[in-house]
Structure 1
Amino acid sequence: MQLGLKAGVNDRQIKDRLQYHPSVFEFHLTEEDVASAGLKRLRDKIQFIRNQGVQHIILHHPMNFEGGHLELSMSEASSPARYRFLWQSTLDLVQLAQAEDVQLLVHGSYDEPVEQLTVGYRNLTEAAEVLFKRMDYLNKIGHDHLFFENSISPLFYYGNPDLDQAILAKGYRLAFDTSHCFIKYHGDNDVLVQSLQTLKPAIAHYHLVDSLGLKHDGLELGTGRIDWRRVVPVLNPAATNIYEVQLADQNDAREMVASHQYLTALAADLQH
C-alpha cells in the first residue's frame, strides 16, 4: 500500500505532509490556485514536492467557483462566468499537468440537486449526453495525464453494472472514491466490491476513505462500515492512492497516516 496524502497549496500543510515521506501527493486546488499568479505558484510547489522525492503528484481540479460547484455538464446559460472559469481552469491545468508530467483529477459530477444539474437542459438524459461528450473531449486531449472521479450524482457514479460497463468501454482513466460508491448504494459492500472489480483495469487512482454509507462523512479507515478485507484484494496494484479522510486540523495529517497504518496492517494480515 502506498502512502498518499492530500493538502492545499499551503506551506504549513505541505511541510506537515512531507515529514511522512509520502509516495503520492495530491493538491486540493481552489479557484485562487488557478488564476495566473496561482498557476505560477502551483508550478513552483510541484517542482518543490518532486525535489523532496515524491514520485506521484496529482492536481485535484477546484470544486467550486464563487460558491457553486463546477459541474462539468453545466450549460453556459446557467452561469456564464462559472462556465468560462470551468473551461479556462480545466484547459490550463491539462496543459500544466502535461508540462510537469503530473496527473489532473476532474470530477465527472458532484452531487448538486437534479434541478441544478438540468438547468439549460430538458432532462437528466440530455445533461448526461453533454457530460459524456465533454469527458470524451478531455480524455482525448489529456488522456495520459487526466482521470475522472465518481460521485453520488445521477450523472456520473459507479456501482450500476450497466453504467460501469459503459464507462469501461469509453476508455477513460478513472479515479475511484470508495466512499462515494458506498454512499450512493446506501452502504452496500457487495455493490462496492463488484464495481471495484469491474472497473479495476481502468482505475488509475483511488481516494480511500471510510463511511457509514449515509452521507459524506470522510471517516478514517476502519471506523466506518466499508469492509476493507474485501476491498483490498480487488484494488488495482498499478494505481496510486491517497487517504481522503476528514482531518480535525488541516495542518495535521494524523488521520490520513492512521488510515495508512490500518490498511497496511490489514494487507499484511491478508497475505498470511
Structure 2
Amino acid sequence: MLRWQVAIAIQNPKVLYLVIELLKKLDLKFEVCPPGDSRCEDAKVVVTTLEDSNNHDTVVTVDEMMDLDFTSIEILAKLYDVHNPVVATIGVDPGMRFGVALVIDGVVLFKDSLTTPGFAARLTSRLESYVSRLFPNCKTIVRAGTGSRLFSTLYLRTMNKEFPSLNIELVNEHRTTLSGGVTSDQSSAILIAGRSGRPYEENDAILEPKVGYVRSLKLFVQRFTRGKRALSTDEARAILLGELSLDCVLTSDC
C-alpha cells in the first residue's frame, strides 16, 4: 500500500528546497528520502535528479533550472495516471481576473489566475507547449468563456495576434460562474474547459466603443496600476476599436 503520493530523492539542497515548496503548494503528501532508499517505493511518484533516476520507477527528473509549472503538471499527470491522452483542454474565464486551467482526461493538471489578457494568452500558449512536450500526440483545444464580451474579446485579440495557430472555441458561460472566493475564476475556467464551444470567427474580435466598456476599461487600468495610471476616454475608445493595445498601456510600452 502506498503511504505517500510523492517521494523526493534529491541530494542537491537547492533543488530539494524548490521541490518541497512546489509540493506544498500542490498540497500533496510527500516524503523526503535518499536516492535508492526503500521508502521511495512507498510513493506513487518519485521526484529525483537525472543521475539518480535509474534507481526508481515512475520518476520525474528535475534540476536547478527546472520550470516549476511544467514540473507540477508532469508530477500530477503521473500521479493521476494521465498517460496517452488524445485531447487536452485549456479553459479560460476572462474578466477583471482571468482564470486559466489545463484539464486532461478529466484531471485538472494546472490552474492559475492572471491579471491581463496578454498574461492569460501567454500562459495559454505556454500550457499548450507543455502538453506537446509531455504528450506529443495529444491535441490541445483552448476554450474561452464569453460571459464578459469585453475581456473575452481582448483575450481573443491577443491570441489571434501572437498565437494564431492555436485552436480556440468560444463557450457559453451559463452556470459556470461561481460566487465568492478568490479563486472562483479558476473554478469557472475548469468548468469552461469541460464544455464544447463554437469556432472563433473574425466578428468575435470586434468591439463597439460603448460607454459601459469605456467605464470598465478605466476601472481595470486603475485597479491594475493601483491608481498610478488613469486611462483617458480616448485611450479606452482606441483600445475598444483595436487601435491601441491594453497591454501596451499597462506596460507603458507604446
Tell me the TM-score normalized by structure 2. Answer: 0.29
Of Structure 1 and Structure 2, the greater strand share is in 2
Higher RCO structure, 1 or 2 (CA under 8 Å, sep 6+): 1
Of Structure 1 and Structure 2, the greater helix share is in 1
